[in-house]
Amino acid sequence: MHLVSAWSSEYRLVLGQVKVADKSNEITAIPALLELLDLAGCIITIDAMGTQTAIASQIFNAKADYVLALKGNHPTLHAQVKDWFEQHLTQGFEGITNSYDERVECMSSSYRKAASLVCSYFSTTAFTSSR
């Protein structure tokens, strides 16, 4: 059985689960799970598979914020975001609220360096996605 879960990091608690339909994937189950939850005021994080316009709109309409992973599976959007960051990086993100975090993570017997840059600039119309 394949499940999609909503997890509260603060309380270390599963808030809800939805079974993924046979011959389907998380993209169809995530909206059903989000419908079950009161999202207002929350920050929702979803991996790259859940980075879909309809899912982002559902979260936004529920008065929540989101952090969606973006990889090469959305090549147009990925290129637009990459270009945006490269352009604003050369300008030192002047006029854009941002924060940077860097850490070393231990995973089994290996280490990896993880870095994140968060900018509070984007709007729902800043980028467009097409495959």
Q: Is the pTM of this model over 0.85?
A: no
pLDDT, the chain, mean: 85
29-81 confidence digits (pLDDT tens): 999 999 999 999 999 999 888 889 899 999 999 999 988 888 887 888 888 88
Tokens of residue 56, six digits: 């982002």
User: Is it the case that residue 117 has pLDDT exceeding 90?
Assistant: no
- Please report the pLDDT score of residue 128 as a whole number: 54
8-state DSSP, 50? G
